[in-house]
Amino acid sequence: MTINKLMTLVDDLTPNQYSAEHKLRWLNEVELTVYLEIVMTHEGDRPETFTPYTPADNSVLLAPDPYSRIYPLYLESRIHYHNAETAKYNDAAAAFQQAWDELRSWYNRTHAPVAAAARLDLTGGAPCV
């Protein structure tokens, strides 16, 4: 899913008064979390750093289909939260959490984890023996 497709989808499914900049900030929040908590904890082809998206950016998001549904669900939950629509927020947050768990489980099944010592650098840079 691309950023433009996501923004169009969110505005179609959850009409709102929030600017593209607000929604982009929320997207950067969830994408940074995907990067730090899922991508960087596993081996494989991955970007070295996460660069927040800009308004002119139309990048492909990190989570592939069908797991990319985390993005509209996250933005929907933020919209309902800021509108003080508690019941809608709770529903959206629960749906997001389920989608997040499915993404994390799929990633764990398909990518080898980074060794804990390498991830935490407990060795101070010295090789493990």
- What pLDDT band is residue 23 in, cutting at 50, 70 and 90? very high
Asked if residue 50 lies in contact with residue 35, where contact means CB atoms within 8 angstroms, the answer is yes
The residue segments making up the domain with residue 49 are 3-120
Q: Is residue 85 part of a domain?
A: yes
Q: Is residue 49 part of a domain?
A: yes
- What pLDDT band is residue 46 in, cutting at 50, 70 and 90? confident
Q: Is residue 50 part of a domain?
A: yes
Q: What is the pLDDT of residue 109?
A: 93
Residue carrying the six token digits 């509108």: 83
Q: What is the pLDDT of residue 44?
A: 83
Write the DSSP symbol of residue 42. B
Q: Is residue 128 part of a domain?
A: no
Asked if residue 26 lies in contact with residue 70, where contact means CB atoms within 8 angstroms, the answer is no
